Chains A and B, each alone.
Chain A
Amino acid sequence: MESTQIDSTTSETEALTGWRSMVADLNADVQTFKVSWGKAMMWFFIVSDAFIFGAFIAGYAAARIAAPGAWPDTGEIFALHLFGADIPLLLIAIMTFILISSSGTMAMAVNYAYQGNKKVAHRLIMATALLGATFLGMQVFEWWELIGYGVRPWENPFGIPQFGSAFFMLTGFHGLHVTCGVLYLLWVARKVRKGGYEREGNYEGVEIVGLYWHFVDLVWVFIFAFFYLI
């Protein structure tokens, strides 16, 4: 008798939207977040990870504002010599486009997975992982170049040493996330191919890896803007 009553209350709050839905969801004796635990936990991880990256970027800004000397010109340092001319930030621009493209293929993969199209979803997740690996390869090249120039976390031949520590911290921690993301994507792709999600009758695992991957792209948006461009 009582359980029927709870069910009817739940369906009533489900119909609400906007602020009313939030007030209803935050009431006692109801489930607050009407999503699966996997999705809720991935979102909590993303919010806490956003705090870590937020702290890194705020710390970088603090070091740069208080820096006792001129900040090096990132346009010159990250220029790529092509067709007899130095094109500023070309490698970084290509890396940005690769990561945005991987976010697009990931979004499509989630769509095809929910449609139950195992084959296309698997291919799109593999494409996402491949683009992520390409991004990583270019980042390794960039690190190789800068280490070759003599940039270290504690020194920098182009100017003040704070640049070196900010560069290795920001891109290194982001690169670590991309590395984990590629491995996570490969694991999900394998499960899609082997029919694991199909047997469970729920492809939400693809959406959850998608949330993580889009977050990695989101962090790059800010690193690209605040570290490389400004």
Chain B
Amino acid sequence: MAQTTTADSAAHEHQVHPLDVYFKVWGWLFVLSIASYVVDIIQFDPSLNWIKWSLITLFAIVKSTLIVTFFMHLRWERASLVYAIITPLVFILLMAAFFAAESGHIADMRRAVLGG
């Protein structure tokens, strides 16, 4: 961080950041990918599968946050751009939740009506 003011203002306009930030993010992406792969291979008791799925989802969310924050430079963009990008994505989660609820209902109805 021993940069002059000119370098800082240049970094503000163009996304130039120290390379070691990228190397750290790169390393974490590898670690989290290996972690989710290992979690998948480990044989869980079927009643504990929710732990496996939660961990895999958590690792995916952390990985995507790292990519968007550092590789796509949102960490250094202005709030108006960041929120214009992030807020609409909430609706995807909402849609997925509605879809899942509807599908669960269909599966329950099938079991109730057709049995099994």
Contact = CB atoms under 8 A, between A and B. Distances in A.
Contacts, number: 159
A130 B25 CA distance: 21
A68 B109 CA distance: 11
A91 interface: no
A149 B64 CA distance: 33
Interface of B: 14-17, 19, 22-23, 25-26, 29-30, 33, 36-37, 39-41, 52-53, 56-57, 59-60, 63-64, 67-68, 70-73, 77-81, 83-85, 88-89, 91-92, 95-96, 99-100, 102-104, 106-107, 110
B22 A75 contact: no
A215 B72 contact: yes
Main secondary structure of the interface of A (DSSP, over half): helix
A108 B72 CA distance: 12
Given A93-B37, A103-B71, A25 B79 contact: yes
Given A47-B89, A103-B67, A222-B64, 16 more contacts: A19-B79, A21-B80, A32-B80, A34-B78, A57-B96, A58-B100, A62-B103, A103-B29, A110-B15, A114-B16, A204-B14, A211-B72, A218-B67, A226-B60, A229-B36, A230-B53
Contacts of A40: 81
B15 to A, nearest CB: 6
Interface centre among A43, A46, A66, A97 (most CB of B within 10 A): A66
A179 to B, nearest CB: 20
A111 interface: yes
A180 interface: no
Contacts of B26: 100-101, 103-104, 107
A217 B79 CA distance: 24
Interface of A: 17-19, 21-22, 25-26, 32-35, 40, 43, 46-47, 50-51, 54-55, 57-59, 61-68, 75, 88-89, 93, 96-97, 100-101, 103-104, 106-108, 110-111, 114-115, 203-204, 207, 210-211, 214-215, 217-218, 221-222, 224-226, 229-230
Nearest to A207: B15
27 contacts: A33-B78, A35-B77, A35-B81, A40-B81, A46-B85, A57-B96, A58-B92, A58-B96, A62-B99, A65-B100, A65-B104, A65-B106, A66-B110, A89-B37, A100-B29, A101-B26, A103-B29, A103-B67, A108-B22, A111-B22, A207-B73, A217-B67, A218-B64, A218-B67, A221-B64, A222-B64, A224-B33
